[in-house]
Structure 1
Amino acid sequence: MTDKRRAINLKEKIDIIKSIESGINKSENARRKNMAKTTVSTIWSNREKIKQESENKSQRIKKIRNPVRPDVDQALIRWFEVRRTENIPISGPLLKAKAEDLFKGLHGGDFKCSTGWLERFKVRHNINVGKVSGEAGDVSREAVVNWLTEKWPGIAQNYSYEDIFNGDETGLFYKMTPDRTLKFRGEKCVGGKQSKLRYTVWVCADTTGSKKFKLLVIGKYKRPKCMKNIKNLPVIYKSNRRAWMTSDIFINYLKEWYEKLRRQKRKILLLVDNCAAHPKNVDLTNIRLEFLPPNCTSVI
């Protein structure tokens, strides 16, 4: 079984890109690296961005000073990696305290970790500040593993990667301001009430990323003023009074897709979450609807 949760570092990504460029196909790369073919396909699709990131990192490394205490540096980064795999938030003061603790354990005596030392450590290991978000940390790993090992192989066995699709909705709060800002030192950061004006966007693609459907955008108004005199949109636009996905919109979307598949004599598998707008009693012979287990969507 491939490791679905293993983080793939930049060097591994570059190795995969070079391997594909040398003539080794994606399936063989996935087998050698013990990862899903879809992961390899995603890496290949983003190869230019990954190459640029690798080049930028190489240029940064040339300017980075080597640590005075390499053993403390390595022990601290190993500790940091383990804590992050456990989704534990790490602050600057906590990192400094851990560095001092590790120094004492390795060398004895006291070591005062300065802000400069911490900043150089962060640069050496490409660490920056990020906002904790999402619900993936609350997902039951046992439920995920059971679904992937016991149920998923039987579901997917009769479908090629190009015939397996995943679709999901996301909210686009188009008037909401960012929740972070640059500020003067000592300035109190306050903000007003955030706008709740939104569109709902349905996003759907196959597992290879080669087939990406036109976005389905759901707004509050049937004929928004901003669309006046516009005859062609780059998206499919639907409406209801709350700008949400509804079972009627979802079923009509599937029926239009079904007609195309029927003419092509093609059958596909569509993975969706089990929200109320995705009814389970849809009977379309060319589309098999499969519902992801509850509360596991963010990981699976």
Structure 2
Amino acid sequence: MINPHRVAELLSNLVSERLSLHDHDTADSTRDEEVAKHLYDHVESILESTHYSFETEHTIDFNDNSNTKQFEVEKINNDDEQFEEASMKVDEDQQHNLFHQFSIPYMKKAVDFYDAVNAKTGKKQHSWKSFQHRFQMVKNRKYIERFHKYLESGGTKQQKLDEIDQYTYEKFVKTRAEFLFVHDIHLKRWALQKAREINDNTFKASNNWVLQFKRRHALCSRKVTKLITQREVLDADTIDNSANNFISKIKNLLPHYRQSNVLNTDQSGLEIEMVGNRTLSFKGEKATFGKVRSVYNTSHSYTVQLIISLMGQPIGTCYLCLKEKNDYMSDNIKKNLFQASNVTVTCSKSGKLSSSLVEYGIQNVLEPTVGNEKVLLLLDSWGGQTDEQLYSKMKHLRLEIIPKKTTAMI
């Protein structure tokens, strides 16, 4: 355990024994207080630590307006001459690996500080000790030489590759934000453009580089599931505002309704036979075929519509619209059709809901479920279901239409 009072006493004895009082100014000064404060801080830090060590190369520097600065400037050249050449002997492999830790901005900042010249004296403004105090990662003057070399050439090879990678990725993100198509050739073009800009004539944008680039950024080839026009891209802000305004409006209405009475319903078109549109096959074949039981059954076959509450629970029966070529179900079909208590069945020639079938669903599914309850119903903007007259019998129902093209955002 360290006794701070004993340390202070020993320090006082050392000062008395080794330093002559006549060689120093006896008047009080703020620098005396500053030095004492720094020494106290070090002692306090040692007392609070569980482990400590001393490094003899470390010094305490002070910035003030005294003559110390002028003396330091005059001593810079002497300090440089006394630099030990032995300290420059660093393992080249180790030094090469260390340079990967330095960014180009860091190198530039270090070089500018090292090369700074005092305008009055024409000599270097900072000593090597001052430089190391500020840039502690730079252990050797050979680093400065390397920094100059790398900055002149635009950086190390790895740094150039990183710049190319970052530029290419930023171009990709910007292009996809505009919903434009991107292929491997575009990645190569952007990468080569940046390589020429930073004077890297060795970069080739090979297929392997493209593969590794896509792996690094989790990119892959995807099927485009929806095509949009430039007008829709330009209207993106308007769509976002519409979605945000609608959400704010609904949030203000929610406290006036029970969660079980906040409802949403939508239609889902399904196929009797569902198949994918991709398959592995042979390169170069002129046509790729896929076998199904019925091509007719791979198009829209039937429609399902459910009512879901804000609690995530289905409300009422499932509304099912089957596909019948005669636009009605014969007595034989009705006779053999499975009857389920939680399903309301109808049909159409296309298997899709028409305005009249929407009205039938409201009368046979929604009205019996809602009754006289106070209900908030949210619907998308499909014209076949937005006519408020269809819901006139439900006196306590409030209808809110989700703005166009915002359904996926709500």
Residues 135 and 298 in structure 1, CA contact (< 8 A), matched pair in contact too:
no
Alignment deviations for residues 255-283 of structure 1 (CA, whole Å, 9 cap, x no partner): 433333336x4422322223235433221
Partners in 2 of 1:129 and 1:230 — Cα distance?
44
Residue 293 in structure 1 maps to residue 403 in structure 2: yes
Alignment deviations for residues 88-129 of structure 1 (CA, whole Å, 9 cap, x no partner): 111112112212222222343252112222112212221111
- Describe how 1:165-244 pairs up with structure 2 within 5 A: 165-175=263-273, 177-191=275-289, 195=296, 196-206=299-309, 210-212=312-314, 215-221=318-324, 222=329, 228=336, 230-232=338-340, 236-244=344-352
Match of 2:236 in 1: 141
Match of 2:367 in 1: 258
Match of 2:43 in 1: none
Show structure 1 runs of 5+ residues with no match: 1-65
- Describe how 1:1-300 pairs up with structure 2 within 5 A: 69-135=161-227, 138=232, 140-150=235-245, 153-160=248-255, 162=259, 163-175=261-273, 177-191=275-289, 195=296, 196-206=299-309, 210-212=312-314, 215-221=318-324, 222=329, 228=336, 230-232=338-340, 236-255=344-363, 256-262=365-371, 265-282=373-390, 283=392, 284-297=394-407
Tell me the C-alpha RMSD between the 2 structures: 3.7
* Cα pair distance change 1:132/1:228, threshold 3 Å: same
1:130 shift after superposition: 0.8
* Cα pair distance change 1:267/1:106, threshold 3 Å: same
Q: Which amino acid aligns with 1:72?
A: I
Q: Which amino acid aligns with 1:270?
A: L
* Cα pair distance change 1:93/1:212, threshold 3 Å: farther
Alignment deviations for residues 211-231 of structure 1 (CA, whole Å, 9 cap, x no partner): 245653311244797x94634
Residues 239 and 405 in structure 2, CA contact (< 8 A), matched pair in contact too:
no
Residues 183 and 189 in structure 1, CA contact (< 8 A), matched pair in contact too:
no
Partners in 2 of 1:133 and 1:95 — Cα distance?
22
* Cα pair distance change 1:119/1:232, threshold 3 Å: same
Residues 281 and 288 in structure 2, CA contact (< 8 A), matched pair in contact too:
no
Residues 272 and 289 in structure 1, CA contact (< 8 A), matched pair in contact too:
no
Q: Which structure is higher in helix share?
A: 2
1:178 shift after superposition: 2.5
* Cα pair distance change 1:253/1:197, threshold 3 Å: closer
Residues 323 and 347 in structure 2, CA contact (< 8 A), matched pair in contact too:
yes
SS in 2 for 1:288: strand
Residues 200 and 244 in structure 1, CA contact (< 8 A), matched pair in contact too:
yes
Residues 240 and 406 in structure 2, CA contact (< 8 A), matched pair in contact too:
no
Q: Which amino acid aligns with 2:383?
A: C
Alignment deviations for residues 38-93 of structure 1 (CA, whole Å, 9 cap, x no partner): xxxxxxxxxxxxxxxxxxxxxxxxxxxx9992332222222222221211111112
TM-score, normalised on structure 1?
0.62
Partners in 2 of 1:246 and 1:107 — Cα distance?
64
Residues 176 and 194 in structure 1, CA contact (< 8 A), matched pair in contact too:
no
Partners in 2 of 1:294 and 1:159 — Cα distance?
21
Residues 168 and 273 in structure 1, CA contact (< 8 A), matched pair in contact too:
no
Partners in 1 of 2:306 and 2:182 — Cα distance?
33
Q: Which amino acid aligns with 1:247?
A: S
1:245 shift after superposition: 0.9
* Cα pair distance change 1:269/1:276, threshold 3 Å: closer
Q: Which amino acid aligns with 2:345?
A: Y
Partners in 1 of 2:306 and 2:198 — Cα distance?
52
Partners in 1 of 2:206 and 2:247 — Cα distance?
50
TM-score, normalised on structure 2?
0.48
Q: Which amino acid aligns with 1:268?
A: L
Q: Which amino acid aligns with 2:302?
A: Y
Residues 376 and 400 in structure 2, CA contact (< 8 A), matched pair in contact too:
no
Among the aligned pairs, what percent are the same residue?
21
Q: Which amino acid aligns with 1:254?
A: I
